[in-house]
Chain A
């Protein structure tokens, strides 16, 4: 029996190749143990082929190990994990053949081979199979190596330990010398600003050094020196791709620190210039550059983890590099359709295909409502519909490549998936302007009518830029205030071939919310949904503080999953402040965190005033549901739209809207002054809500939408 120990550091991209190789190893009588530096749950391997084991150590509880890892070279880190694994040590001792399944596993196998001098140590599955064959054929021959190899290895292990200590110390010294502490010193910052711009440094080295120095300077609060240093280093880099990558990496590093990059525009422009240069010669490279540029422009720190998105403040300036890039413009350039959409059939029910990114609760509601529409045969198409459709929906690079080249196999796969549905449907309703909208418009839809619902947050994402709006018949917005920003972000919407824009509220079934309020609801403010910085719960807390100065009976109930501090440093900063607010207000009973609820109508019975503190909204669903429950609505005048012709007041009654926490508090005090006044205000708001957004009211609008023909 031959014992084989395989080490895999990266999940195999070609899993079938691994499985096939394992079958061949078994066919030659080998027992295989496969150690993975990743969760083995991702592997679909029959138990009889190999025993699987994960050797990544949980570093959370071991700061010393974390420091050791941080000091070591990346290629050595898997080995540092592996040597702590009893399982690996045991099987390495018994192994006749050790195999590095991928290049990142070579160092680990090399180290194991220094300890088991008898075994063969091979890189790659096919060469390992050959080695196994040779070993089987030479069975009985003297084992490799022997005492000499063992002695040399043992000595070498000791010598290397000393050498590594010296090398790691040297690296640590360099890292410390270019670290934040040094950059805080004027002399240190000055020295490094000159060093990265010194002549005759190879581009790659200069790029790495400049990134390190730039990031340290930004951390040290030396942003202006960082800009100058970066510019000086970039001007010395001859290769345009390296220069663009440096600028992009610097911008990403700043975003990781939760900052809006100082040279965001330069970084985006450089990447897009590369994309323009490569667009025809090498579309894959062009796509990489485009993905990098849009990755920066749509980074969540810019739009979701801070309260002022530059896209909404100055869309033209923010997107100017996109407007001037030929490659970026080609992504959304109208490609047209061969025929206009056919009118709905009159001799049979209209076939409606509802395309959704994920089947969640709101989609279920939309699906139920669509099923109720007049004379409609409904089908739902989610991104899990086909074996690889989710992967296709995530693959923005392949979508870009198909748009640029029109001949990629990816395009054929998408068409294979989508085309039968397009052929079946009279009308396709794409919910949310995300990847599904890009995929549906990737090919000519023929006579099928395409309707896309844009909820609002998608404007911050890449996907709308990949949608061919010349193939969309109707774009549905949930509120009129989104029209202007949508046209600013997507200028094609103002072109001749643009789709018709319809404003239709969310299809909401409000009757379940009509329940009596509890007795203590009058002084309970509620905020439903605060899982993003842009929901700005601290604005609601500010309202609460003002109220409590007047009357200590007011309290705030936060309903839903809280903010995640892990998304970015910017979100963490906001969350830190929020936690301080909790610490101050919760002990006094002023703030109550309810957590997520399965029964929102019941939860709302305890809320007398429903707040919307968002920086922006496409459609304030929670506010409307709260108002339907009889809570008095108070909405922030979404600052992202402040100064525009249409904002929150374009959708909501003016008396619901407050520009500042002070105004909001004043409205709350006024409407809750007496029990009667409060209940009356709640009834009025509920009345408006039912008359405006309840499904029976909205449904004819949807019927009308589906009854319409194309351009």
Chain B
């Protein structure tokens, strides 16, 4: 009689039931089954864990399931249900369980998210400041403009007043004399600066912080999407 009832009531979807069962079993190794939900309610530090909380949110009963489970709350008949279902019955007893768990998750992950964001924002701030004050780099840009105009001479490309900053990465595409292997404008520039303007090489240090600053956004957006 009780077995039939158990099979009759499919509160949760099949595959989730298996996962929930595994989840409960792993927790029950440390905490007795009937203590689990009360301890969650009491904010036991055991549940101050990102993975556990993510799972609890995932397994939280849906509104339909809550309706099916409600009659069992406080009733003797709940012991006839499967373990996962019994667990869900207990969860139903906690008011606004899902919202609660989401707040708990936020609290658990806040420290790390804060530090990540702080680190990225600081990186962008530092790089902005550093780049703004980059004297040698400005000299280098002048040199690039000068050389570029000289090389373009009397053609329509000569006489430029400025360049788009992104084009500094096109210098390597500008080919030089076919006799020198791998010779591009950039090779020529590096060689020239190393030989005749060694002080200008400080620009590498001035631009160093740009490396950290350009990494930032990607990582944090991934975290934001995942949570």
Is B one of A's binding partners?
no
A-side residues, CB < 8 A to B, are none
